Structure formats: C-alpha cells, structure tokens
Copies of this chain bind each other. A is one copy, B any other.
C-alpha cells in the first residue's frame, strides 16, 4: 500500500507536521521525530539546519499562494463578485493537498511560533485577505463577519463533529457555502444596518 520510502527529507516533514500539530511544537522533541522514523537525531540535522528550519520548510509554498490571492484581489474592483471570488480561491487553496494541514499546525501553535518570521508573515497576509472582504473602516459586525468567513473555512477542516462521517469534498463544499453566507450577510448589513 502507498509509497514505500519517500525520500527522508519528505518523511521528516510529514512526521514533524503531524507531531507538531497533535502534540504541539515545543512539546515535540527531535528525538521523538527521529524515533518515529527509525533514525537518530543527528540524521535530522543532515536534512535541516535547525528545528525552526523544519517549520520554515512547511510554509514556503503557503506564503506564495496566499500572496498570489492578495495580489490578484488588489487588481480587482471592490465588488460582491470579487469578494466571492476571493473566498472561492481561498477554499481552493485550502483543499490543496497539505495546505489545510499546515494551516491547522499554524493555528494550533500560534503562540509557540511567535517571532518566527515565516509564520508572522502568514498571519499578516491573513489580515490582507480579510481586507479584501471588507474595509478597515467598516462597522464591527461587518469586519467580524469577514474575519469569520475565513475562519469558518479553517474551522470546518479543523473542528470535527465526526471525522469519519463526511468526505473531504463534502466538507470543502460546506465550508465555502458557509463562508459565502457570512460574507453576504456582512454586506447586506453594511448596505442596510437598520434591518438588523
């Protein structure tokens, strides 16, 4: 079944991502990662200069993909259609193979990764994505709903009523649906605040 012996570097990344996410970045020692792979700590240091370097390697692609969405959004007019397309693109990104695993790792280790340049960069970009969905000067409920639209897509992957009951595709579709509803609700509110 599955691929026997992918290269060691990838196997380190895979195991590290799992353990950092499940047990926490600080709580996971390089010894644990090495043991799980059947090698020694020293072997890890051949492939990665430091523990933080393993983390950085997860994020290279994520940063680029997120920046691409922001760059595109900024060239577009600030319309409902643009905002909905931002959510579609974000959902697509999350559905890509490892993307939601990396985002979950980041979310669960926010504090431990403080000061880590790559993870702070992703945090900043998330705010720029939210700024595509509403303006900084918009009323609180509009800003909150915009934030929650993104957040909802993460949560749908992360918080799991029953991990086995639904397929990834169902999950991804529901996530986007809910995010779009939150976005619509935010801008309906902005257009007509008295109705609420």
Contact = CB atoms under 8 A, between A and B. Distances in A.
A114 B24 contact: yes
B144 A23 contact: no
A151 B159 contact: yes
Interface stretch (A4-12, A40-48, A95-103, A135-143): A135-143
A49 interface: no
Contacts of A143: 161
Interface stretch (A69-77, A82-90, A166-174): A166-174
A166 B140 contact: yes
Nearest to A110: B108
A26 interface: yes
A141 B170 CA distance: 9
Contacts of A110: 108
A125 to B, nearest CB: 15
Q: From DSSP, what is the main secondary structure of chain A's interface residues? A: helix
Nearest to A115: B23
Given A162-B136, A177-B141, A112 B147 contact: no
B178 A27 contact: no
B112 A24 contact: yes
A22 B182 CA distance: 29
A178 B141 CA distance: 8
A156 interface: yes
24 contacts: A21-B111, A22-B111, A22-B114, A23-B111, A24-B112, A27-B112, A112-B112, A130-B161, A136-B162, A140-B161, A140-B165, A140-B170, A141-B174, A144-B152, A144-B155, A144-B174, A147-B159, A148-B148, A148-B152, A148-B178, A151-B151, A177-B196, A181-B185, A182-B182
